[in-house]
Structure 1
Amino acid sequence: MESCGMSFIKYLLFIFNLFFALSGLGIIIAGALVLADVSDFSHFVTSDLVGPPIVLIVLGTIIFLVASLGCYGAIRENYKMLIAFAVLLIIIFIVEFAVGITAAVYKADFQDTLKSSLKKSLEQYSSSGSNSNIEKAAWDNVQQKVKCCGVDGKDDWQTTPISCCYKDKIEESDQPVQFCVSSGRNYMYKDGCYQKLQMKIESNTKILIGVGIGIAFIQVVGMFLAFWLAYTIKKEEEAK
């Protein structure tokens, strides 16, 4: 017959793992939202930016599976499963910590790379090469969705593209660029795309950091409960 203390720890760990499994689903959703947001300007960046939300989705899936293992181990009072669960939590925690440090170290380098990529793409936009149509589609898409113009502003363009105009003004006139600047007011986006994309990245980074800190705290609690229950099970087995 199990003691009241072990019964309490077992069900406490079981309830914890239910919440842990739900947090895994939450991480998957957060990663998917960030990935969808990043897709608006993925043409201008390398996999370095697309990587973190994908890692988050994979991590959320792993957390969901690990939480299921923890639930089963707690209910079955299986010492080996509980130890395996705790060790997996430690490994996930170390991976999260390493990813966080890497992101912090390369943040400044990434911003420089983004600006360089935008400038290079803008030059190709006006060229007659085979990639010009791809660059035009990418710039038109990002300028309309993010509501920006050029890298640092509209002056970056030799010939300002239609996509720099407010969307409703494009729909109103057959000559939207001229209409945007000749009607007594300037209906052209004033912010550069680098500034707007940088703000998006900062916002997404805060989401990832917030989720990471929350999950790290939950993991520490889970490790403690798993080792506590495993120790209690081992102690009671030795007492028999």
Structure 2
Amino acid sequence: MVSLKCKEILCLTYSGLLFISGILLITFSVILSYRVLYHFNFVPSDTIGPFIVIFILGFLHLFLTWLGIKGPTREHNFHIVLFMVFTLILLVCEFAVGIWSMILWDEISILTLELMRVSFKEMINFDKKEWSKLQSDLKCCGLYGVTDYSSKHNSTPFSCTNPELSNVTIQYIYEEGCQKPLVKYVKRILLDGALIGFISGIFQCFGLFAFYSFFSSLREERKERLNRRLAMQREASQGQLPAQNLPIPVTPPISANPPPLPSS
């Protein structure tokens, strides 16, 4: 059977990892949010929702670190129980973030295509810079391909050319449209968000088990301490009888006349 001290060390180790996980969640949420906002004109606004939630959950991880250290070291029932309650809430929220990201992952193709269609129609007046950035980053051209420009514009934009393969005489133009690369780009971000949510939820399951095991062992340990204290008190009370119950020694009476000496 694992001792209470070993379980306490396990809880403290988990609390240290919880602090690190909070920093990682905040960092990843900022990076993934930036990747979504970088092409935000073509991405549904709901896509950034899971990463905002992950950012908030990262700060909750940091708060739980304090509870996770204070509870086991001082054996405070309130802090241990509060830690388990918050851990259970985090577990549900993080699994919900994973499910939410997978739902968006399934719907992103249709939503992104609609935004790209509207944006491509207005590209001359509004979104020309955004399309140039999109085509340069994803190495694509137009919505469905380079033919979108030949049917609508007089020339192909410079962002559709590959600067690594092009030279003064030959211009290498991307043939693939931007729809599929962008959908793949956004799906990859959402998949990362789903993995973060599910992995964090599994991590919370481990913490919930560790602290529940410690709390159960702590209650058993307290019962044993109480029983040992009561046993010591009983032994102490049985080793010393009360003064009124002690037997009184009886001494023989002293005679007034001494006994006669034997004659010679």
Matched with 1:226 is 211
Which one has the largest radius of gyration?
Answer: 2
CA contact (8 A) 1:6 1:233 kept: yes
Structure 1 runs not aligned, ≥5 long: 127-131, 174-178
Matched with 2:65 is 67
The answer to whether 1:207 aligns with 2:207 is: no
Distance in 1, Cα, partners of 2:60 & 2:177: 39
Question: What whole-Å deviation, never above 9, does each CA across 1:38-65 have from its counterpart, x for those lacking one?
Answer: 2221122232112222222222221122
Secondary structure of the equivalent of 2:3?
A: helix
CA contact (8 A) 1:40 1:141 kept: no
Q: Would you tell me which structure has more helix in proportion to its own residues?
A: 1
CA contact (8 A) 2:47 2:104 kept: no
Matched with 2:242 is none
Where do residues 86-235 of structure 1 align in structure 2 (5 Å cutoff)?
A: 86-126=84-124, 132-133=125-126, 135-157=127-149, 158-159=152-153, 160-167=156-163, 183=170, 187-235=172-220
1:169: how far off? 7.4
| Seq. identity, % | 24
Q: Which amino acid aligns with 1:99?
A: V
TM-score normalised according to structure 2 size: 0.75
1:21: how far off? 1.4
Structure 2 runs not aligned, ≥5 long: 227-264
Distance in 1, Cα, partners of 2:158 & 2:4: 69
CA contact (8 A) 2:105 2:187 kept: no
CA 1:167 to 1:215, structure 2 compared with 1: closer, same or farther past 3 Å? same
Q: Which amino acid aligns with 1:164?
A: C
1:153: how far off? 1.5
1:168: how far off? 5.2
Q: RMSD of the TM alignment (CA)?
A: 2.2
Q: Where do 4+ consecutive residues of structure 1 move more than 6 Å?
A: none
